[in-house]
Structure formats: structure tokens, C-alpha cells
Structure 1
Amino acid sequence: MSLEVALLGYAGLANLAQGKQRRAGSLRPAQPRARIIGWFLLLASLFAAAHRFGPYQAVPAWLALLSASGVTLVLVHSRWPAIATAPWMPMAAIALTLCLV
């Protein structure tokens, strides 16, 4: 299993969750920087999948690992929102290290 694809996907989805404004009357403003970083991490996840699985199996493997990361994020975020989105930076660092190995 390719752990770096799943970790980059989780980090990207966690950043997208941080950048989303919850309600119109929310005190916390939307964070466009977090959304941009989230999309770049998802793109890096796709490139890592293409590198790991090859051009023909990259998209199905990426979607499967992104789905598993998304389910994990949703389950943890529903109970502990701060804990779910906090470790995105160490996850991205570990994933980038695994990409280089």
C-alpha cells in the first residue's frame, strides 16, 4: 500500500476543511490560504500515485486511497475537530520523505 498518497490526501482534505467557512454568521473567516494549500496537496497526492502505480493504475488507486483518507478525516472530525485537522503538516512531511525513498 502506498502510504504517501494517503497521507498527502489526508493533509489536503484537512486543509480544505480548515479553509471552509462553516456558516454565514460564523466568527471564523474563511481561509483562502488553507484552501490553496489543500488543493496543492491533493495534486501532489495525484502525482505521488502516478509515480507509485504508473499511468494506468494511478487514478483508480488515488481515488481509493483518497476515499479512505476522507472517511478517516470525517470520522475523526465529527468527534474531535481540532485533532483531525491539526497534524496536516507532519503528515505532509512524512509523505514527502516517503516519496523520496
Structure 2
Amino acid sequence: MAWLVLIVSGVLEAVWATALGKSEGLSKLLPSIVFVAALGASMGGLAWAMRTLPVGTSYAVWVGIGAALTVAYAMATGTEAVSLLKVLLLGGLVGCIVGLKLAH
């Protein structure tokens, strides 16, 4: 169960990071509300997962999922350029996240 909570928390990290960017310095109300809500849920889930999973592994998986999804979303929406190198590197990042799970 801790792994599922950690994965959902990583997804929520991508949500809050994207919302923070869209909030324009917390000056837009709706993205700011999404940012605060997703941030709280993401951090809460990370904290809960860390009760049973190692801190280093938990943090690396959480950050990795959030970073990979944030970049993938930005590329999918056209706010960040897509390149073969970026896609390969994101694939490597996801592979490392899976590797951390398998090594646990």
C-alpha cells in the first residue's frame, strides 16, 4: 500500500509543479488553489509512505515520478520542446524509478 500511495504522491507532485507554473507567482486564483491542494496531498502521501519505506528510496521515487510527468506534460502540451534525447533521458529516469522499486 505504501508504494501505491508513494506513486500517487509523485503524480500529485507533477500536478502541483505544473499548477505553480500556471499560477504566475500565485497571482492566479484557480492554479494557486490547485497548487496548494496538490502540494498538501503530495507531501502528506510522501510522509505517510516514508513511515514504512526507506527515506532515500521514497524521496528519489517521488521526485523522479514528479519530474518525469512534469516534463512529459510540458512536452505534450507544447510548452517545452520535444527531442529524441529528452524522451530517451526520461525513459532512463523511469527505468531508474522502476529499478529502485525492484531493488527494495
Give the alignment's TM-score, normalised by structure 2: 0.53
Q: Name the residue aligned to 2:98.
A: none
Query: Is the CA contact (8 Å cut-off) linking 1:20 and 1:35 kept in structure 2?
Result: no
Q: In the alignment, residue 20 of structure 1 is paired with which amino acid? A: G
Q: How many residues align?
A: 75
Percent pairwise identity: 11
User: SS of the residue aligned with 1:51?
Assistant: coil
Amino acid at match of 1:42: S
Give, in angstroms, the shift of residue 39 of structure 1: 1.7
Mapping for residues 3-18 of structure 1, pairs under 5 Å: 3-18=4-19
Name 2:28's counterpart in structure 1.
Answer: 29
Give TM-score, length-normalised by structure 1: 0.54
The 3 A distance-change label for structure 1 pair 61 and 34 is: same
The equivalent residue for 2:47 is: 47
For 1:46 and 1:77, locate their aligned partners in 2 and report how far apart those are by CA, in whole Å. Answer: 21
Partner SS for 1:10: helix
Deviation at 1:23, TM superposition (A): 6.0
Listed as ranges, the gaps of 5+ residues in structure 2 are 79-104
Asked whether the equivalents of residues 45 and 62 of structure 1 are also in contact (C-alpha less than 8 Å), the reply is no
Report if the CA contact (8 A) 2:10-2:42 is conserved.
Answer: yes
In structure 1, distance between residues paired with 2:47 and 2:24: 33
SS at match of 1:20: helix
- Structure 1 residue 77 and structure 2 residue 55: aligned? no
2: CA distance, partners of 1:11 / 1:23: 19
Looking at structure 2, the residues matched to 2 and 44 of structure 1 have their Cα atoms a distance apart, in angstroms, of 14
- Relative contact order higher in (CA < 8 Å, ≥ 6 apart): 1
Distance in 1 (alpha carbons) for counterparts of 2:6 and 2:64: 11
